[in-house]
């Protein structure tokens, strides 16, 4: 069997991956808070851990891997979005509007991630469906002396856990100095974090021994992971921004309940755009749907992501997008009619080496250069590329009518020596991503990088 090596954030080294139960390899990845569209940074962990999921399924068998990715549908931002709708006159109770907003956003998320070629996880629990498990876990923490009630809140006592900070490798004193901690009179210690908080009549809430309220964010994942994957499971993943405090707090809660929790922690680095941090203030913030609506194929987005190792910051650039689109067009043309073969051993070896996706792409380039269409097709699918589900975007449209019009304008221009109309039409075609070739033999048009059929409507 293929030996997989993964970098474990908890030990800070690359280790041989040895599943607890090879017959049921278990992975938990923190999913979205469903209040709005997923932005490009949200999509990176989806592609990273989807690729790992594909590798685990290839090595251990599709029926022997369980992948859980949660949906956080208890959150103040969701509440605020629903309240804004209610104040705008939307019918229904606040709870109804919260559910509608969550359902709508989850639908968007599924559509956008499918467009990137991500396989659906085995389980996708919603936090609101696991409230009872969270309440039980909080009660257990109180009984064990690791949590306390204060003014309707229940807080985890960080001082009660000697191992706190093991994931991030920082002392509690350093965390206090560098973290933005909520100051509240009912906290015993600045680092203590909320497990349960009270809900007023204008907020969603559930009954509990501490009054009507709702869970804190961190307890959600601990309860769902334990309920679906057991006290000990193999891999917990997410973006590096979650390592502290979210994942640190998950470990503390679970450990103090007597759970072994995850044996391998993996974190992907952050995403930049054209060398800068993505932010609305810089005007470089966009969602996955923004790119899809601009005509960027999801397969292209995926390939750009795969070009950078998950542990390194990834820079989204238009140059990378153009290059990926051009390569994928050539590869899809090459594999037409080919029967996909088994993934090449070198592809599997690259991915097994701490998910070296850039190395795997290099193997695909080599297979394409060798003209091995069958191996290219089968190997690319292990990366979620060149799949039937993502096909269609390279289908060549019929541009013969436009080519005929440009040829007529060109003939007239050769006679009149006025090429203004030819230049204008050519510029419009190029702006739509059409490659224009004119020679003495005529005019040839073909879709190129960034092709957008919608921009051709005014020329039709």
455 marked as part of a ligand binding site: no
One-character DSSP codes across 406-453: HHHHHHHHHHH---HHHHHHHHHHHHTTEEEEEETTEEEEEE-TT--G
Cβ atoms of 328 and 365 closer than 8 Å: no
How far, in Å, are 17, 51, 240, 284, 352 from residue 14 at the CA level? 9, 18, 17, 34, 11
Under DSSP, is residue 401 helix (H, G, I), strand (E, B) or coil?
helix
3-state helix, strand, coil in the chain (%, to 5): 45, 15, 35
Q: Angle formed by the axes of helices 248-256 and 131-143, to 10°?
A: 70
Distance, in Å, from the CA atom of 44 to the CA atom of 295, rounded to the nearest integer, reads: 19
Q: What is the C-alpha separation between 224 and 240, in angstroms, rounded?
A: 20
**Residue showing tokens 């009518």:** 401
- 246 among the known binding-site residues? yes
DSSP string computed for 39-108: BHHHHHHHHHHHHHHHHHHHHH-GGGEEEEE-BB---HHHHHHHHHHHHTT--S-HHHHHHHHHHHHHHH
Residue 221 marked as a ligand binder: yes
Q: Is 257 annotated as a binding residue?
A: no
Report whether 149 belongs to an annotated binding site.
Answer: no
CA quadruple 56, 59, 60, 64: dihedral, nearest 10: 40
In the sheet with 147-150, reading across from the earlier edge strand, the strands are 147-150, 153-156, 193-198, 213-215
Binding-site residues, in ranges, read: 30, 221, 246, 250, 280
Q: Residue positions in the annotated binding site for Zn(2+)? A: 30, 221, 246, 250
Which residue ranges make up the annotated binding site for ATP? 280
């Amino acid at each position: 069997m293929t030996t997989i090596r993964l970098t474990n954030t908890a030990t800070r080294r690359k280790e041989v991956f040895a599943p607890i139960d090879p017959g049921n390899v278990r992975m938990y990845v923190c999913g979205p808070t469903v209040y709005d569209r997923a932005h490009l940074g949200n999509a990176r962990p989806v592609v990273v851990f989807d690729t790992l999921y594909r590798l685990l399924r290839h090595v251990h068998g599709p029926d022997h891997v369980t992948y859980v990715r949660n949906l956080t549908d208890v959150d103040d931002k969701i509440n605020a979005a629903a309240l804004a709708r209610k104040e705008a006159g939307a019918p229904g109770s606040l709870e109804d509007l919260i559910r509608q907003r969550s359902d709508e956003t989850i639908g968007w998320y599924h559509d956008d991630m499918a467009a990137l070629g991500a396989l659906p996880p085995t389980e996708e629990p919603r936090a609101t469906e696991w409230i009872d498990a969270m309440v039980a876990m909080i009660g257990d923490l109180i009984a064990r002396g690791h949590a306390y009630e204060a003014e309707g809140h229940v807080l985890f006592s960080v001082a009660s856990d000697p191992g706190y900070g093991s994931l991030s490798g920082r002392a509690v004193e350093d965390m206090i100095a560098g973290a933005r901690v909520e100051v509240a009179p009912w906290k015993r210690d600045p680092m203590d974090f909320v497990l349960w908080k009270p809900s007023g009549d204008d907020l969603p809430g559930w009954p509990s021994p501490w009054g009507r309220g709702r869970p804190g964010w961190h307890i959600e994942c601990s309860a769902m992971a334990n309920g679906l994957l057991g006290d000990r499971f193999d891999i917990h993943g997410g973006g590096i921004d979650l390592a502290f405090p979210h994942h640190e707090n998950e470990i503390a809660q679970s450990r103090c309940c007597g759970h072994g929790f995850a044996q391998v922690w993996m974190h992907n680095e952050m995403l930049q755009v054209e060398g800068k941090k993505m932010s609305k203030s810089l005007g470089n913030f966009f969602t996955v749907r923004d790119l899809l609506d601009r005509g960027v194929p999801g397969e292209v987005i995926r390939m750009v992501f795969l070009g950078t190792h998950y542990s390194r910051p990834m820079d989204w650039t238009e140059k990378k997008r153009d290059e990926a689109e051009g390569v994928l067009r050539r590869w899809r043309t090459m594999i037409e009619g080919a029967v996909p073969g088994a993934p090449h051993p070198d592809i599997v070896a690259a991915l097994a080496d701490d998910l070296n996706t850039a190395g795997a792409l290099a193997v695909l380039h080599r297979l394409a250069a060798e003209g091995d269409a069958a191996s290219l097709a089968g190997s690319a699918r292990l990366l979620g590329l060149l799949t039937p589900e993502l096909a269609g975007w390279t289908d060549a449209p019929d541009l013969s009518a436009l080519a005929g019009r440009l040829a007529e304008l060109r003939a007239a221009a050769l006679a009149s020596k006025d090429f203004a109309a030819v230049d204008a039409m050519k510029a419009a075609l190029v702006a739509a991503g059409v490659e224009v070739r004119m020679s003495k033999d005529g005019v040839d048009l073909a879709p190129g990088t960034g092709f957008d059929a919608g921009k051709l409507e005014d020329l039709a």
